[in-house]
Structure 1
Amino acid sequence: MLKLKDSDIRSVLLSNLDKRHKDEEGTKVVNEMGVLHGQSRVDVAVINGILHGYEIKSESDNLERLPSQMNDYNKVFDRMTIVVQRKYLDEVKKLIPNWWGIMLVTRYKGKLHLREIRKGRLNKNVDPFSLSHLLWRGEAIDILKEKGLQKGYLSKPRHDIYEKICNSVPLDELQAIVNQRLKMRGNWKVH
């Protein structure tokens, strides 16, 4: 039997997410969403009331990058789910935080299926500064303007702009703003 690739699993995951969120107006499913200015890329992100990342590890992958990816994802996502094949299930259970969900990819009668092994929970440790890195510079400037905080910041580097936002906007409000801005981005990497 041929080894599954990321693209095989992504296809069944996207189909599953489409069914799950089809009646939710305003939900956006994004492929290969960069976090921390591209330091890591989550395979699939669902943006609705929360930011939910899905990381795929097929049997063609290895887990070498997972610790650094986890470190980045833990700073940004409200929820995370890892989608794995049985080959990595036990190892992944030991590696990932308890708040991450786990989905198992199985093959039955030639078709791929997803089974929830562990339901994820909300991340209580989102880092506002890392979250703000999801904003494009223009979006961050617009937020400062909307809050009347732009004076002296229009020509500052992104780092300073993000810092100003984080020091001026409570985390729950920042999460809502970032989600809204990501959803407003037209056909940006949308599935």
Structure 2
Amino acid sequence: MRDLDVRLAVRSRLRREHQDDMDTRVVEEMGIWNGAVRVDLAVINGEFVGYEIKSARDTLARLPNQASLYNAVFDRVNLVAAEKHLDHAIGEMPEWWGMISARSDGGGVRLEVLRLAGTNPAIEPLQLARLLWRDEALAILDRCDAARGVRSGTREKIAARLAETLSLDELRRQVRQCLKVRGSWLREPVSNQRHVTVGSEA
């Protein structure tokens, strides 16, 4: 069972779940932390949800580092893993992470939810603000009348101001809205999306 096999199964499930929801975007290989790490799939609607895939051919060596980065920005995270990984992962990952078993089934992949994802209790506002491109963050500050002093500043300075200015709930909402309207997937239903990536440079 390859990573691609699991990815296709997850993608298919997400499209079925959201095919009639024009407000949902499913993004593949989304870069966070300025591209330092990429989550396999992200769902953006009323929440920001990450899906990390570990097939039978993968190891869990990178997962602790990936988890620490995902935990800073996602509202919920789901680990989709081959059965051989799950006992170890359940003991190592935060209790609020969802756990989904992936196993070969008649030439395809069968997914089974073992634990529903809970709500992340410790989102980091600055890391969330850093998901935005410079012009996106500055536009939000302009609307809040809070851009004075940082308009010509670096992307990092603008992100810091944004994290200080908005409440966490409002920041989450603004970031989700920006991510949903970026690039070629604007107004595309999830059923029409293929391989789209949220860029990490601006």
TM-score bracket for this pair, using the shorter chain length: over 0.9
In the alignment, what sits opposite 1:169?
166
* CA deviation vs aligned residue, 1:38-72 (integer Å, no higher than 9, x gap): 12110000000000000000111111111110000
SS at match of 1:104: strand
Tell me, in whole angstroms, the C-alpha distance in 1 between the residues paired with 2:56 and 2:105. 17
Aligned-residue CA RMSD (Å): 1.2
Contact 1:52–1:77 (8 Å) recurs in 2: yes
What is the rounded CA distance, in whole Å, between the counterparts of 2:108 and 2:51 in structure 1? 21
d(CA) in 2 for partners of 1:108 and 1:68?
Answer: 31
Cα distance, 1:109 vs structure 2 = 2.1
CA-CA distance at 1:107 after TM superposition: 1.9
What's the CA shift for 1:24? 1.7
Q: Which amino acid aligns with 2:71?
A: N
Q: Hey, what does 1:187 align to over in structure 2?
A: 184
| Deviation sequence 1:145-189 (CA, Å, 0-9, x none) | 111111221211111111111111000000000000000113265
Give the Cα–Cα distance (whole angstroms) in 2 for the partners of residues 38 and 61 of structure 1. Answer: 21
Contiguous gaps of at least 5 residues in structure 2: 186-194, 198-202
Structure-to-structure mapping, 1:1-191, within 5 angstroms: 4-187=1-184, 190=196
3-state SS, counterpart of residue 131 of structure 1: helix
Cα distance in 1 for partners of 2:64, 2:41 equals 18
Structure 1: distance between partners of 2:93 and 2:35: 21
* Number of residue pairs aligned between Structure 1 and Structure 2: 188
- Corresponding letter in the other structure for 1:152: G
Q: Does structure 2 conserve the Cα–Cα contact (< 8 Å) formed by 1:106 and 1:113?
A: yes
Identity in percent: 41
Greater relative CO, 1 or 2 (CA 8 Å, sep 6+): 2
Amino acid of the structure 1 residue aligned with 2:127: S
Contact between 2:5 and 2:108, CA under 8 Å: does it hold in 1? no
* Contact 2:71-2:123 at 8 Å conserved across structures: yes
TM normalised by structure 2 equals 0.90
